[in-house]
Amino acid sequence: MRAALRAQLGWARRALRGAAVLGHAPGPLCWSCGAALPGTDGSPRFCPGCQALQPPAPRPDLFRLMNCDRSFRIDERQLQQRFRSLQRAVHPDRFGQRPPKEQFYSEQHSSLINKAYQTLLNPLSRGLYLLELSGVEPVQETDCDADSAFLMEIMEINEKIAEHKNEDSLEEIETLIKVKQEELTKEVAAAFERGFGNFLCNNQHNWILQPLHRHKLEPFPSF
């Protein structure tokens, strides 16, 4: 135990001396062996010396983590591939024989990757996250008047869902909702490209997503 502690202190002292010679503050050090850590592109970081998984950043950029441009338009296939790749690298099943601290970091990374995937895959949460990153507070449902024709359309869809008698009729409703969702997604993307403006006024995107999500949640891809 003492030998391990002395080794860690030795790593830390050498890193500090090296930083002092170079004239800048020391960078992050590995929690396990004390080695200096390289920069990161947003991916989970492993120590180049002992290969220990490092803790996630305190406030990570989810777009950067998932290797996506900070834009409302994303490549869903690329997002899914990135999700699988990251989960293969940090999934807790791979760290069952590692130290407890590293197991904990693995769980944190896995949870963060799930959150990033869900946030960026869903058009509504992706748009709201973009607004959050830009310091823009989205309007609430009570902040502007909803389109009455649109609300009537949503009520009719909800009635059809409540009255559906078989899977075929439910699939027809889901197809209709997906078409509406695609139309609204294009409108929102165009609004972002023009500048935020009155983004998501009436929360129409939220209204159209709710009935679909109640009956068929987006599954995680396997990894």
Residue 85 domain boundaries:
40-121
CA distances from 128 to 119, 125, 177 (A): 9, 5, 21
Q: Which residues of 196-214 are buried (b: 16+ CB within 10 A; e: fewer)?
A: eeebbbbbbbbbbbebbee
**pLDDT the model gives residue 188:** 77
Q: From CA 45, how far away is CA 27, in angstroms rounded? A: 14
Q: Do residues 95 and 55 share a domain?
A: yes
**pLDDT the model gives residue 117:** 98
| Average pLDDT along the chain | 77
Q: What is the pTM of this model?
A: 0.69
Q: How many domains does the chain have?
A: 3
91-140 pLDDT, tens digit per residue, is 999 999 999 999 999 999 999 999 999 999 998 889 889 888 888 776 55
Question: Could you state, in chain order, the average pLDDT of each consecutive group of 10 residues for the chain (223 residues)?
Answer: 50 47 66 92 93 94 95 94 97 96 98 97 88 74 59 79 74 82 80 62 47 44 54
Q: Do residues 160 and 206 share a domain?
A: yes
Instruction: Answer yes or no: is 45 within a domain.
Output: yes
Instruction: Answer yes or no: is 67 within a domain.
Output: yes
204-219 pLDDT, tens digit per residue, is 455 444 444 444 444 4
Q: Do residues 12 and 82 share a domain?
A: no
Tell me the residue type at 128.
Answer: L
Q: From CA 138, how far away is CA 166, in angstroms rounded? A: 38
Instruction: Answer yes or no: is 13 within a domain.
Output: yes
Q: Do residues 45 and 31 share a domain?
A: no
**E strand or H helix at 120, and its extent?**
helix 100-121
CA distances from 160 to 154, 173, 175, 204, 208 (A): 10, 7, 13, 19, 14
Q: Do residues 28 and 100 share a domain?
A: no
Instruction: Answer yes or no: is 134 within a domain.
Output: no
Q: Do residues 106 and 165 share a domain?
A: no
Residue pair 153/184 in contact (Cβ under 8 Å)? The answer is: no
Q: Do residues 153 and 169 share a domain?
A: yes
